[in-house]
Structure 1
Amino acid sequence: MLDIFLTTKDATATPIWLVRAADLKVWCAEHAGAGAAWVETSGFKAESGKVLLIPDGSGGLSGAVLGLGDGSDPFATGALVGALPVRTYRLAGNLGQAAENAALGFALGTYSFTRYSGKPREYPRLVLPDGIDGEEIGRIASAIFLVRNLINTPTNDMSPADLADAALTVANAHGARTKIIVGDDLLTENYPMVHAVGRAAEIAPRLIDFTWGREDAPKVTLVGKGVCFDTGGLDLKPSSAMLLMKKDMGGAANVLALAALIMGAKLDIRLRVLIPAVENSVAGNAFRPGDVLKSRKGISVEIGNTDAEGRLILADALTEADSEAPDLVIDMATLTGAARTALGPELPPFYTDDDALAADIAASATAASDPLWRMPLWKPYDAWLDSKIADVNHVSDGAFAGSITAALFLRRFIDKSKAWVHFDIYGWAAKPRPGRPVGGEAQAIRALYHLLKRRFG
């Protein structure tokens, strides 16, 4: 459990009231006197994430009020950590189902990326509300911090080799069995598109593969895009588009964090994790627009644009995932700008042709306050990937439906799996919100963890 949490009651803990803007007058009526007068004097309006410290008669602190605005942000408590003096607090009143998110939001507010600058600091502590599992909240917060740290680390310290080391740390912590295929061994073991995308980089491409859990348990395989930096290849990105490309391994980061949650909770799953880790670089041996690559599945792929490299490495990994006919394959990738154009940075789309799975994911997303939106695998667009010289082109020649056609390309590499779902995530918080600073961000893993606990817990 995180050391910011206390599980025992503390009579000296300072109360924090969570108040919606529409309920502020009611709160003032219930706390008539100095507290209500101070709210009026300060001009506090209970806007989301705003914190008001309530003084006592001797100049000390009697409590704090956190504004919730319209109540739409479940993690507004993330604003508390930076606004409160270091001491022990409790959440006042009956929070009901909001208590779990309130505790998680408080934990998320303690995050900062300090690898290169900044100093460790002391944080206020929170007495957990009744019925809240501090161990579980700690696991979830730690998984989110793992995602953020991995994505925020620049590529000079998060190369394919460093990403493999990070994966080994997660796997070894839970006794998983690991295998890593590096460089030209990818050709020997038939991962030709992973090799082709990563071969121009100074640090060799690799496939990270680990398994955990009893062999006869339901099989769940996670596949994460691990492009540690994306120049665009010979279809070179402009410099402005390269600035955030350290985050192009966000799918791998989220998959590792989800795996850590699954193993930490000891879910009854035969878990397998596959992460193709590469840099998409420029050199004389880089793959080219117009090349035809052979895939692990045997499908020949014409390269329409070297800046659409993620789906190539995922295709080889998905083929291997599919070979075991698992009960569920989940792939996660920072795949297309089209997904951001359609839904923005905070609402990742997902694709599946399993309606029951889609309904379960939607329900879990709501329950976990982890927003997701189903998008269609619109089969008529599959023809947009036709090639005159190969089995398929990996991109269409038009500007429309880029996230859908990417998902349709990946769908070609799934045959045997009982269910498959693809998440086109952003992996980055573009604007600060309470407990969610600008930088790398976990997306979809809380919803997926909720789903897997329900199905296999």
Structure 2
Amino acid sequence: MSLVFAAPDPAAIPVHVIEQDALEDWLKDQPEHIQGWVAANGFAAGLGSSCLIPSEEGGIAMVLAGYGTAKARSRGRFHLASIAAGLPEGTYQLSDLAEDRLEEEALGWLLSGYAFDRYRAQKPAVAKLVAPDDIQALRAEAIAAGEALTRDLINTPASDMGPADLEAACADLASNFGAEMSVIRGEALLEQNFPMIHTVGRAADQAPRLIDMHWGNEGPTLTLVGKGVCFDTGGLNLKPGSSMGLMKKDMGGAATVLGLAHMIMALELPVQLRVLIPAVENSVSANAYRPGDILTARNGLTVEINNTDAEGRLVLADALALGAEDEPDLMISMATLTGAARVAVGPDLAPYYSDDSAFSGALEEAATRVADPVWRLPFHAPYEAMIEPGIADLDNAPKGGFAGSITAALFLRRFAGDAPYAHFDIYGWNPTPAPARPKGGVGMGARALLEALPKMLDL
């Protein structure tokens, strides 16, 4: 799988992108045989439709790509990717597409070439695109590669993506870009004061660990923290089978952070990047942590365990406390943290929390520009009392069922210190196939963040 553009080719097949209400005018300028062919094939330029025009030699002279209406396009993204997926092998070049749509559609075309084929042969798109002149081709390729890394990590089952395998994936990424990486494993977590990471992961066969990667020596400091729960049984508060089936994706925060890190390093952004990933498996064993236990986190706060299935915020808390000690210019956590976020916004939006209106403004402007939708939710201070059980400083699973994503975000904020902080409560999974986004693991929010970072950090 190679998600790169084709080399410039004067023989590349032109793809004419035609909006529905522009088809009639476009046809007026075409020879009669093309007009007749289009009519015979019933091509009306509906969104996602296509018409291959034959050449005299029996090949393809051109492709007509239906671009529908603005209303139809507003209901999705990467519209040309579905057309790319159906084209025969060859080299193609976009034509007649507005400049402000080029980057999104070119990236979507690249991503149509993604397929998760580790366990079974798949059929990704084979149509190669010549990079449009008005886009940054290397940037699009770096983004596609980072997204593919995220998808591969999420799609891999826990049998091949446990904490040790996630560590190996981090090591490969670090090696590829000359980053430094250290890992604290097993009992050493207790010795070096990461008690909650150790507690959550101690019941599993593979030891819990904290992965710490550094890259870059100049520029503002950026710390990314990703939840790396490689499988979540729920612990002693065991999940039902219907809820456990997708828990290989519970390391989707770590996968998305690593995909974003790949993009940042490949593009050589002038930042000092730190990536922290607490990698654990939340398992059931005689030494599993229990409801009612009280843990003391790295920063000294005590946490009452009212549900062992609310483990992600525990491992993130120790990692955030470590990240805060360096007082970075910006710290961001990403996690597949709560079902409440899915109920609130569904699987397609990346909900996030930030108290910084400048951060939110930059992010949402960027998200619209790169078709990576996000939605701001509030750090609602009046709900702080909901995470304070009385017997300890914090409750990891407030009773009542209200505001589950918000209370989780408030919990995490207690460990971020004074660092400017944002939290993403992502889903990390695409349940329904869509253009450039097959069913399975998917990055959420990473492309928006990459686009916004220069403004956020004054790069």
User: How big is the shift at 1:253?
Assistant: 0.5
CA distance in structure 2 between the partners assigned to 1:131 and 1:67 by the alignment: 21
Q: Give the letter for the 1:67 counterpart.
A: G
Corresponding residue for 2:433? Answer: 432
Task: Tell me, in whole angstroms, the C-alpha distance in 1 between the residues paired with 2:295 and 2:63.
Answer: 61
Q: Following the alignment from structure 1 to structure 2, what is the Cα–Cα distance between the partners of residues 120 and 337?
A: 32
Counterparts of 1:430 and 1:89 in 2: how far apart (Å)? 30
**Please, which runs of 5 or more residues in structure 1 have no aligned partner?**
none
Q: Which amino acid aligns with 1:422?
A: H
Distance 1:414 1:240, change over 3 A: same
Letter in 1 for 2:144: A
Partners of 1:22 and 1:134 lie apart in 2 by: 30
Which stretch shows the higher mean deviation, 39-48 or 12-21?
39-48
CA offsets per residue over residues 325-364 of structure 1, 9 Å max, x none?
1100010000111111110100111001111111111111
Match for 1:47: what amino acid? G
Q: 1:438 to 1:120 in 2, by over 3 A?
A: closer
Pairing 1:2-401 to 2, within 5 Å after superposition: 4-8=4-8, 10-31=9-30, 33-57=32-56, 59-69=58-68, 70-72=72-74, 73-118=76-121, 123-214=126-217, 217-401=219-403
User: Which secondary structure state, in structure 1, belongs to the residue aligned with residue 277 of structure 2?
Assistant: strand
Instruction: Tell me the secondary structure at the aligned position of residue 406 of structure 1.
Output: helix
- Relative to structure 2, which stretch is displaced further, 381-390 or 203-212? 381-390
Deviation string 1:38-62 (CA, Å, 9 cap, x unpaired) is 3332233433333322234554322
> Which secondary structure state, in structure 1, belongs to the residue aligned with residue 159 of structure 2?
helix
Distance 1:427 1:340 in 2: 11
Q: CA deviation at 1:68?
A: 2.7
CA distance in 1, matches of 2:243, 2:381: 31
Q: Is the 8 A contact 1:50 1:66 kept in 2?
A: yes
Tell me whether 1:441 sits opposite 2:430 in the alignment: no
Q: Is the 8 A contact 1:80 1:109 kept in 2?
A: no
Give the 5 Å matches for 1:404-443. 404-417=406-419, 419-443=420-444
Task: State the one-letter code of the partner of 1:188.
Answer: E
Cα distance in 2 for partners of 1:305, 1:37 equals 67
CA RMSD of aligned residues (A): 1.8
Whole-angstrom distance in 1 between the partners of 2:41 and 2:400 = 56
The answer as to whether partners of 1:249 and 1:333 remain within 8 angstroms in 2 is yes
Provide Cα deviations, 1:236-261, integer angstroms capped at 9, x if missing partner.
11111111110000000010111111
Q: Which letter maps to 1:414? A: A
Report how many residues are paired: 454
For residues 294-313 of structure 1, the C-alpha deviation after alignment (integer angstroms, 9 at most, x for no partner) is 11111000011111110110
3-state DSSP of counterpart to 1:156: coil
Q: After superposition, what is the alpha-carbon deviation per residue over 1:115-168, rounded to whole angstroms, capped at 9, x for unaligned? A: 111068782222221122221111010001000100000000000000000011
- Whether the 8 Å CA contact 2:84–2:125 is kept in 1: the answer is no
CA distance, structure 1, for counterparts of residue 30 and residue 108 of structure 2: 25
- Kindly state the Cα deviation for residue 12 of structure 1 after the two structures are TM-superposed: 1.8
Q: Sort the Cα spacing of 1:164 and 1:360 in 2 relative to 1 into closer, same or farther, 3 A.
A: same
* Pair 1:449–1:202, CA change in 2 (3 A): same
Structure-1-length-normalised TM-score: 0.95
Q: Give TM-score, length-normalised by structure 2.
A: 0.95
CA 119–18 in structure 1, closer or farther in 2 if over 3 Å, else same: same
Higher alpha-carbon deviation: 426-435 or 35-44: 35-44
Deviation of 1:171 (Å): 1.1
For the Cα contact (< 8 Å) 2:113–2:124, is it kept in 1? no
Unpaired segments ≥5 residues, structure 2:
none
On the 8 A contact 1:35/1:54 being kept in 2, the answer is yes
